[in-house]
Amino acid sequence: MARLMLVLGAVLVSCMATTSCGPASDGPGSGPVPPCSLLTVPEIRAAIDAAWSPGRQQVSEGDTDAIGCAFSSPKGFVILWSSAQDAEAGYRSSRAAPTQQPQQDLSGVGYEGYAYTSPGNVQEVHLLKGDAYVSVAVGAGAPPGTARHFGDLVVAGLP
């Protein structure tokens, strides 16, 4: 549990330092896409066989426009972040961050995206679709390509 908290803290610090979880739309009255609606426990379990907790929504202390959703299991974690302002600027800042290299381009029709795996084997996917910017982080030990698979599921659920 202490290791999970340490890794979750490192992901959040990375997220806030690069604004990779930074804001997602600037329209009046708009808000972030609810991240817990973008991925389900059965979808996660199909990729990583373990007993997963339901997604737990959280608000970022560093960016009050960001909403997170954390799933956890004895095998690791899956965290999604969605935010409410400056989606394109947040995505571009994350993509340009030297700590987020090397990247694999995941862009498709109607959206942009990239995947990155940290030296600690935390897989990340960052997606920009319209006014929505969502990132997905998958804890160490997940099979290669897991975050990319979750990114495909998430982008399909974005408006």
Domain holding 27, by residue range, is: 2-157
Beta-carbon neighbour count of residue 130 at 10 Å? 14
- Strand pairing of 104-105 and 112-117? antiparallel
User: Residue 86 — pLDDT band, cuts 50, 70, 90?
Assistant: confident
Higher pLDDT pick, 41 / 5: 41
Where is average pLDDT lowest: 12-26, 56-70, 131-145? Answer: 12-26
Q: What SS3 string covers the chain?
A: CHHHHHHHHHHHHHHHHCCCCCCCCCCCCCCCCCHHHCCCHHHHHHHCCCCCCCCEEEECCCCCCCEEEEEEECCEEEEEEECCCCHHHHHHHHHHCHHHCCCEECCECCEEEEEEECCCCCEEEEEEECCEEEEEEECCCCCCCHHHHHHHHHHHHCC
State the pTM of this model: 0.79
CA 50 to chain centre: 20
Q: What is the CATH number of the domain that holds 33?
A: 3.40.1000.10
Evaluate if residue 126 carries a pLDDT over 70.
Answer: yes
Q: For the segment 136-155, what is each residue's pLDDT rounded down to a tens digit?
A: 999 978 999 999 999 999 99
Higher pLDDT pick, 14 / 79: 79
**pLDDT, position 59:** 85
Q: Average pLDDT of 30-50?
A: 93
* Domain tally, the chain: 1
